[in-house]
Structure 1
Amino acid sequence: MDISSYVLLSHEQALRRRLDVAANNMANMSTVGFKREQPVFREFVEPSRDAAVDAARNTSFVLDFGAIHDTAAGSFQPTGNPLDFMIEGPGYVAVETPEGETAYTRAGFVKVLESGDLATAGGQRILGEGGNPINVPPDQQGQLTLGADGSVIGPDGPLGRIALTVFDDERAVNPRGDGLMTGDGARELPAAETKLKAGGVEGSNVQAIVETTSMVEILRAYQTSMRMSEALNDMRKSAIDKLGRAS
């Protein structure tokens, strides 16, 4: 396989990665708190001293550099539950996984466990300020309200505060595959910088028309790459035929 085939192969691998990301975005159009992903690529230049002309001395390949999240807000979807919330602005809610680890989510469905702890719809305990769970006494359950700063307020006053966690570099946030995120370099926001809208959740920010258009562009780019590959094969066959006749 010559260098041109390797270049085309790297391009087609990048297109496959783009298609996987676009398909995953489409599959999560109805996932609460989901942020669409965008693949990031970088150029890898391979120098060659054996090129026939100077213009061919550097060969550019496509390398997958990961994916970033589109941080644009999704739409507010009312639920009727006064504890459900939408995060207005950046940030994630820290939760405790069954393995005892800390994960993050923007899905704002909230329920009260039998133990009295606040939890997500999946049953993961929500961690408040300082990484501590928020517990609601049995006689105050069903009488709770949620403040804009994340304060969980019962009839007798505040019971705790849902804290938001931010990451200075969103590239440090990675999906686990179960609707939760993991990340390094987390920083807890103070109450003054926390903004929650109670009574509903944040919908996915995926736009069907954008992802559909992206898929069409990927398909056309792949077809172009295939035509180039076929043209190169025809050139090789023609060269071999001419060499055979010359010998």
Structure 2
Amino acid sequence: MDVTSYVLLSHEQALRRRMDIVSNNMANLSTAGFKREDPLFHEYVEKSGGPDAATRTTSMVLDYGTVHDTSAGTFQVTDNPLDVMIEGPGYLSVQTPDGGTAYTRAGYLKVEQDGSLTNAAGMRVLGERGRPITVPPEQASRLTIGDDGTIRGPDGDIGRIAVTVFDNEGSVDPRGDGTFTGTGGRELTAEQTKLRSGGIEGSNVQPIVETTNMVAILRAYQSSMRMAETLGDMRKSAIDKLGRFG
């Protein structure tokens, strides 16, 4: 396989990766708190052979990962006083089944029979300094959540939902269940926290944009395939002529 074929193959692999990511974005159009992703590619430069190898290079595409779009989704009213949306950057902290910590923007919250405040997946919501929040069962149906994340019942404050931000969003990776893993996060103070109750944050995926991206990727892939076919025809023609000359 010559250098041109390697470059075309590199391009087609990058297009396939882009299509996978766009398809995943579309599949999560209705997922609460989902952040659309974009592929991240780096240029890989390979030196060519020959007497002028020091000056001749070939550029190919290297799949470097993905980056998620941190722009906010729209507020979707649920009329559930426990549902919240984070206004601004940050994530709700939840406790994973193995005792670790994960982060989410999906604000579907509920109180379990034992009084634990959990998300839709049953993971316990963490309050200040990483402590799980427990609600007295008799107050579970009469709770409100303030703008600063403070949970209040008929008898007073119960706890405050923690919001964690990451200065480097590149350290935040999706887990695949509506939650993220991350390192280097810091907890916001009550003054820095801004929650909106009575609804959740919708996905920030824009279907028209993603559909346009799909069409552009398909056309680019078709162009690459046509170029590969043209190069193949040129090789066949050259071999044919050389065979007749011999």
* TM-score exceeds 0.5: yes
CA distance in 2, matches of 1:226, 1:9: 9
In structure 1, the gaps of 5 or more residues are none
Superimposed CA distance per residue, residues 42-78 of structure 1 (whole angstroms, 9 cap, x where no aligned partner): 11111124177997x1100001111111111111111
Distance 1:54 1:102, change over 3 A: closer
Greater Cα shift, 166-175 or 195-204? 166-175
For residue 140 of structure 1, report the CA deviation from its aligned partner: 1.3
Counterpart position of 1:112: 111
Counterpart position of 1:187: 186
CA distance in 2, matches of 1:105, 1:51: 56
Counterpart position of 1:203: 202
1:25 aligned partner, one-letter code:
N
Q: Secondary structure at the match of 1:193?
A: coil
2:166 is aligned with 1:145: no
CA distance in 2, matches of 1:74, 1:180: 16
TM-score of the pair, normalised by structure 2: 0.97
1:99 aligned partner, one-letter code:
D
Greater Cα shift, 237-246 or 146-155? 237-246
Instruction: Name the count of aligned residue pairs.
Output: 246
CA contact (8 A) 2:96 2:102 kept: yes
For residue 187 of structure 1, report the CA deviation from its aligned partner: 1.3
CA distance in 2, matches of 1:53, 1:229: 25
Superimposed CA distance per residue, residues 8-45 of structure 1 (whole angstroms, 9 cap, x where no aligned partner): 01100000010000000000000000010011111111
Distance 1:135 1:54, change over 3 A: closer
Q: Secondary structure at the match of 2:62?
A: strand
Greater Cα shift, 180-189 or 196-205? 180-189
CA RMSD of aligned residues (A): 1.4
CA distance in 2, matches of 1:243, 1:162: 76
Distance 1:137 1:94, change over 3 A: same
The residue correspondences of 1:141-180 to structure 2 (distance < 5 A) are 141-180=140-179
Q: Secondary structure at the match of 1:233?
A: helix
Q: Secondary structure at the match of 1:192?
A: coil
Superimposed CA distance per residue, residues 112-135 of structure 1 (whole angstroms, 9 cap, x where no aligned partner): 011111000110000111000111
Counterpart position of 2:226: 227
2:110 aligned partner, one-letter code:
K
Counterpart position of 2:2: 2
CA distance in 2, matches of 1:9, 1:142: 59
Q: Secondary structure at the match of 1:60?
A: strand
1:141 aligned partner, one-letter code:
A
Counterpart position of 1:61: 60
Counterpart position of 2:211: 212
Distance 1:227 1:52, change over 3 A: farther
CA contact (8 A) 2:47 2:53 kept: no
CA distance in 1, matches of 2:227, 2:157: 66
CA contact (8 A) 2:149 2:161 kept: yes
Q: Secondary structure at the match of 2:142?
A: coil
The residue correspondences of 1:95-134 to structure 2 (distance < 5 A) are 95-134=94-133
CA distance in 2, matches of 1:107, 1:121: 8
CA distance in 1, matches of 2:140, 2:243: 87
